[in-house]
Amino acid sequence: MAVYTDISEAELGAFLAQYDVGDLQSYRGIAEGVENSNFMVHTTTDQYILTLYEKRVNADDLPFFLGLMEHLAERGISCPVPVHRRDGAALGTLAGRPAAMVTFLEGIWLRRPQVTHCAEVGRALAEMHLAGEGFALTRRNGLALADWRPLWEKSRSHAADVEAALEEETESLLGRLEVEWPRDLPQGVIHADLFPDNVFFLGDRLSGFIDFYFACNDTLAYDIAVCLNAWCFERDRAFNVTKGRALLNAYNAVRPLSDAETAALPILSAGAALRFMLTRLYDWVMTPEGSLVVKKDPMEYVAKMRFHREIRAATEYGLDR
């Protein structure tokens, strides 16, 4: 929730002069996003989001992220589109950091999404998965199964401070995932972080996806599992099967799930819950007191891990079969 890097009007003016976007009218730091510094920029022609990539983002990954948004937008997916400089580049430098401008996407992220929004997300996720086909660049998932144990080892000794049973439960689930994780499901480009704050709506209509900075090549159905975790639980941590049904069936109507994908949903969902529990736990125990980073409670995802552990079939999430 912070702008990490401030920029002067002279720096920004020189940066914008490389683009064909008119003259600067105003810019404001946006108090959203924890990885990068974001500014809303108005020029005489349009408005844009300017992102300065801070050190948590690997600059080598930026061509993948920017290229993906462009690839998806060309195929009808609503998302921010990188603006190219006069020399053709989509990536520049500002205040010593890699920087890019993307088009401004109207829409609101929903603090309390309802069933109808879950259906919209399911449909749009399937459309994004189909549109991702043919994208030339690849990026491995930096938070895939193989990365979970090293991450776990870094915060494991603090797990008992969060919840007495957490160490044993995590060990048990991680061990099972390492044995049973499905490896031959359909692959493709996934968003990998499609939480409500990354999906915009205008009224009840989904207006676009943002924040592709975890996107990668991985199991498509894992992206659905992330969404089940992110969209279909209530604030009391109870799974809302009506939301699950809406999301899964809307997805399935656009990109029908194979039997293998359907069968794998419970384990993929448990894995997704573990992945977010692990990063939250790590931030929870490692972030210095008083840091600008807003820490999210890992216990929310511990509850989800427990829920998925008891699921035996995707029909229990609401998928019609």
Residues at the site binding a copy of itself, with contacts judged by CB under 8 A? 1-3, 6, 8-10, 23-32, 40, 42, 105-112, 200-203, 288-292
State how far the alpha carbon of 107 is from the alpha carbons of 25, 172, 206, 293, in Å: 22, 41, 8, 25
Nearest to 51 by CA among 62, 64, 67: 62
d(C-alpha 228, C-alpha 225), whole Å: 5
Q: Which of 159, 162, 140 is nearest to 151 (CA)?
A: 159
**Shortest Å, Cβ 309 to a copy of itself:** 31
Q: Which amino acid is located at 83 in the chain?
A: V
Nearer to a copy of itself, 12 or 224 (CB): 12
Mutual orientation of helices 145-155 and 166-180 as an angle, nearest 10°? 160
Cβ at position 207, least distance to a copy of itself in Å: 9
Spatial separation of the C-alpha atoms in residues 164 and 218, rounded to whole Å = 33
Nearer to a copy of itself, 235 or 312 (CB): 235
User: Whose Cβ is closer to a copy of itself: residue 89's or residue 292's?
Assistant: 292
Q: What is the largest CA-CA distance in the chain?
A: 60
Tell me the one-letter amino acid at 214. F
| Cβ closest to a copy of itself, residue 41 vs residue 303 | 41
How many Cβ atoms sit within 10 Å of the Cβ of residue 44?
9
Phi-psi map region of 208: left, alpha, beta (phi>0 left; psi -120 to 50 alpha):
left
> Is the CB of residue 207 less than 8 Å from the CB of residue 200?
yes
Residue nearer to a copy of itself on the CB measure, 39 or 317: 39
Q: How far is the CB of 23 from a copy of itself (least distance, A)?
A: 8
Q: Which is nearer to a copy of itself, 150 or 203 (CB)?
A: 203
Q: Minimum Å distance from CB 296 to a copy of itself?
A: 14
Minimal distance, residue 195 CB to a copy of itself, in Å? 15
CB of 103 to a copy of itself, least distance (A): 13
